[in-house]
């Protein structure tokens, strides 16, 4: 005999007048909740039910904040679909609270370590990777060819090196290299090459005639490990007679790096050496009640352990910016955040787009009505600590604690920019599901609901849906994520994305003109 289904919903805040249906597959009309509420129509899973009678113009409240206004009358127990709501205006950037509610420093969490690779610049890697950087797309196919041969013919002799990767992209020529926007892709490529998981030993491949020259992308002064050693292979140099010579030169330089990288061994590093980038993709209405709050709890643990936690995605925090400027460590940090929001508002305006361009059809099908609701759920993953610093797109981060790195919300661009910011571990929450992964840093994927974690049992690393079913608390899953980060960072546990080798391409953010 199967047990009768117990209708369940989640109400996040006492002020909320809507709640989220938790039961897999949704609920039929007539379902009665333990609160006494009766559904007057069928509701899909993860969508919103009205807890009170709403009149046209009434505020719709979730997370204790207004996510929209009723566009028509909505009865108690009825579905609150996307088209029954109008969106509130975004918070004006001119009248935001500046560091008015800076959280007190969280109590320190001592004694947590991982086994990592110590770098000359003081950072630590969670992987030991040789990366071959490129200045221009023209050389990408040649580098890909050489990397395949290096992996097959040379890498097996250097077992302490985890991988050889090519950092290829479509920038470097045919672009307005002096335009203000060019600074972003150029510094992104520089800082990608300096990621802690790459050991400070890059090889740079240049064509020769391209606009972005190696010294501009990655000056030798930034490579103390290499001292005066050559680090550039230029395909148009006279010494190369044919493709074979180019590949041979590249393989020879790669081998000199592999010899040194192979001598490195994992050593005990404090958890404060972690730089954990947080992101979400394929969000749904559960994101803000399961995976993101659990990740927020883990983020607080990381901050307490002295680590750096990076959150990003400008268009997903824009509508919650008033909560973040208040949380800034000081007024200067709050103003840095406003500067990045204003830059992005302008960028979107130039493209004749606005924040409503963010939620995807999948987000909406997953129960997220608009960007306000999405933003409030997204910010939950940043935990509760003070915002310590703000970085512009592609800038490297050295600050400890919770840091905002301004990026688009696009999964691949955000991931690439977080790697440039020096991320050595990535945690990614998803409701709709994505097989996303990165070659440069491990990606732990957290599902917002158990049905996804079960269906994608060999892609999802953590099931936060147990919070919705009542089988685990936010704290339980937060600790689980924290401990898993330390194990993955130590090489003791391999994420599903790494097991299958699911490594998405680097995607640069280039707001500058293409010529």
**Cβ 363 to Ca ion, closest distance in Å?**
11
**Selection from 304, 286, 287, 477 nearest residue 379 by Cα:** 287
Return the number of other C-beta atoms located less than 10 Å from residue 195's C-beta: 28
The Cα-based distances of 225 to 30, 121, 123, 222, 423 in angstroms read 69, 9, 13, 9, 20
Q: Kindly give, in sequence order, each residue whose CB lies less than 8 Å from that of residue 465, ignoring residues fewer than 6 positions away.
A: 286, 290, 447, 448, 449, 450, 451, 452, 453
For Ca ion, the closer CB: 281 or 288:
281
Is 284 a binding residue for Ca ion by CB under 5 A? The answer is no
For Ca ion, the closer CB: 281 or 383:
281
**417: three-class secondary structure by DSSP:** helix
- Give the CB-nearest residue to Ca ion: 281
Give the interface segment with Ca ion, choosing from 401-409, 435-443, 464-472, 479-487 (CB under 5 A). 401-409
The Cα-based distances of 295 to 286, 425, 462 in angstroms read 13, 13, 11
Residue 439 CA to its chain's centroid (Å): 14
For Ca ion, the closer CB: 112 or 509:
509
For Ca ion, the closer CB: 44 or 435:
435
Distance CA 496, CA 456 (A): 10
Transcribe 228-243 into DSSP letters. T---EEETTSTT--SH
Q: Which residue has the tokens 């001292």?
A: 227
Give the interface segment with Ca ion, choosing from 13-21, 199-207, 280-288, 398-406 (CB under 5 A). 280-288
Q: Which of 319, 411, 461, 463 binds Ca ion (CB under 5 A)?
A: 411
Q: Tokens in use for 469?
A: 């079913």
For Ca ion, the closer CB: 91 or 408:
408
124 forms beta bridges with: 118
For Ca ion, the closer CB: 190 or 381:
381
| Burial of 328 per CB tally in 10 Å (0-12, 13-18, 19+) | buried
Burial 346-372 (b: 16+ CB within 10 A, else e): eebeeeeeebeebbbebbbebbbbbbb
**Cβ 241 to Ca ion, closest distance in Å?**
46
Give the interface segment with Ca ion, choosing from 67-75, 328-336, 409-417, 466-474 (CB under 5 A). 409-417
For Ca ion, the closer CB: 31 or 429:
429
43 forms beta bridges with: 27
Give the interface segment with Ca ion, choosing from 10-18, 31-39, 87-95, 404-412 (CB under 5 A). 404-412
For Ca ion, the closer CB: 327 or 426:
426
**Cβ 39 to Ca ion, closest distance in Å?**
32
For Ca ion, the closer CB: 9 or 311:
311
Per-residue three-class SS string for 352-368: CCCHHHCCCHHHHHCCC
Return the number of other C-beta atoms located less than 10 Å from residue 10's C-beta: 18
66-105 positions binding Ca ion, by CB under 5 A? none
Distance CA 456, CA 434 (A): 9
Q: Which of 323, 409, 452, 484 binds Ca ion (CB under 5 A)?
A: 409
Distance CA 205, CA 52 (A): 63
Is 281 a binding residue for Ca ion by CB under 5 A? The answer is yes
Give the interface segment with Ca ion, choosing from 112-120, 281-289, 333-341, 397-405 (CB under 5 A). 281-289
**Cβ 310 to Ca ion, closest distance in Å?**
13
Distance CA 376, CA 290 (A): 13
Burial 270-296 (b: 16+ CB within 10 A, else e): bbbbbbbbbbbbbbbbbbbbbbbbbbb
Give the interface segment with Ca ion, choosing from 83-91, 100-108, 274-282, 287-295 (CB under 5 A). 274-282
**Cβ 428 to Ca ion, closest distance in Å?**
8
**Cβ 283 to Ca ion, closest distance in Å?**
8
Give the interface segment with Ca ion, choosing from 9-17, 226-234, 275-283, 443-451 (CB under 5 A). 275-283
Is 185 a binding residue for Ca ion by CB under 5 A? The answer is no
Convert residues 208-227 into a mask of x (bound to Ca ion by CB under 5 A) and - (unbound).
Answer: --------------------
**Selection from 403, 404, 428, 402 nearest residue 415 by Cα:** 428
For Ca ion, the closer CB: 319 or 411:
411
**Cβ 272 to Ca ion, closest distance in Å?**
26
**Cβ 312 to Ca ion, closest distance in Å?**
8
For Ca ion, the closer CB: 112 or 344:
344
Distance CA 60, CA 55 (A): 10
Q: How many residues bind Ca ion (CB under 5 A)?
A: 4
For Ca ion, the closer CB: 281 or 442:
281
**Cβ 451 to Ca ion, closest distance in Å?**
21
Give the interface segment with Ca ion, choosing from 45-53, 59-67, 199-207, 278-286 (CB under 5 A). 278-286
Give the interface segment with Ca ion, choosing from 64-72, 92-100, 277-285, 418-426 (CB under 5 A). 277-285
**Cβ 389 to Ca ion, closest distance in Å?**
21
Which residue ranges make up the site for Ca ion (CB under 5 A)? 279, 281, 409, 411
């Amino acid at each position: 005999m199967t047990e009768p289904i117990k209708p369940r919903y989640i109400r996040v805040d006492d002020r909320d007048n809507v709640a989220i249906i938790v039961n897999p597959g949704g609920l039929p009309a007539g379902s009665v909740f333990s609160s006494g509420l009766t559904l007057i129509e069928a509701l899909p899973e993860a969508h919103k039910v009205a807890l009170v009678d709403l009149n046209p113009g009434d505020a719709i409240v979730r997370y204790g904040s207004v996510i929209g206004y009723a566009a028509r009358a909505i009865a108690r127990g009825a579905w609150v679909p996307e088209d029954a709501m109008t969106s509130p205006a975004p918070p004006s950037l001119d009248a935001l609270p500046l560091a008015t509610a800076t959280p007190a420093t969280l109590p320190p969490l001592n004694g947590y370590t991982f086994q990592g690779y110590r770098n000359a610049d003081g950072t630590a890697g969670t992987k030991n990777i040789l990366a071959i950087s490129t200045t221009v797309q023209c050389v990408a196919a040649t580098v890909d060819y050489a990397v395949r041969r290096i992996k097959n013919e040379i890498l097996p002799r250097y077992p302490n090196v985890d991988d050889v990767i090519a950092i290829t992209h479509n920038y470097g020529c045919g672009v307005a290299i002096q335009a203000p926007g060019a600074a972003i892709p150029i510094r992104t490529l520089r800082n990608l090459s300096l990621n802690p998981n790459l050991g400070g030993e890059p090889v740079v491949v240049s064509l020769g005639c391209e606009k972005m020259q190696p010294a501009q992308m990655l000056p030798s002064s930034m490579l103390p490990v290499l001292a005066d050693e050559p680090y550039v292979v230029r395909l148009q140099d006279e010494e190369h007679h044919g493709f074979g010579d180019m590949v041979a030169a590249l393989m020879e330089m790669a081998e000199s790096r592999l010899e040194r990288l192979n001598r490195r061994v994992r050593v005990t590093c404090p958890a404060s050496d972690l730089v954990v980038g947080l992101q979400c993709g394929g969000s749904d209405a559960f994101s803000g009640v399961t995976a993101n709050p659990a990740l927020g709890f883990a983020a607080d643990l990381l901050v307490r352990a002295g680590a750096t936690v990076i959150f990003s995605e400008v268009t997903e925090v824009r509508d919650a910016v008033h909560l973040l400027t208040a949380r800034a460590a000081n007024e200067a940090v709050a103003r840095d955040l406003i500067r990045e929001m204003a830059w992005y508002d302008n960028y979107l305006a130039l493209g004749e787009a606005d924040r409503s361009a963010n939620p995807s059809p999948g987000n909406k099908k997953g129960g997220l009505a608009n960007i306000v609701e999405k933003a409030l759920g997204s910010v939950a993953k940043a935990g509760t600590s003070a915002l310590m610093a703000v970085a512009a797109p592609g800038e490297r981060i050295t600050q400890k604690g919770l840091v905002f790195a301004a990026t688009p919300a696009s999964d691949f661009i955000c991931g690439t920019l977080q790697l440039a910011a020096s991320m050595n571990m990535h945690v990614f929450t998803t409701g709709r599901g994505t097989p996303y992964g990165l070659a440069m840093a491990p990606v732990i994927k957290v599902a917002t609901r158990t049905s996804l974690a079960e269906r994608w049992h060999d892609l999802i690393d953590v099931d936060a849906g147990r919070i919705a079913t009542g089988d685990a608390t936010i704290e339980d899953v937060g600790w689980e994520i924290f401990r898993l980060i330390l194990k993955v960072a130590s090489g003791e546990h391999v994420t599903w994305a790494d097991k299958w080798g699911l490594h998405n391409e680097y995607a640069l953010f280039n707001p500058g003109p293409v010529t």
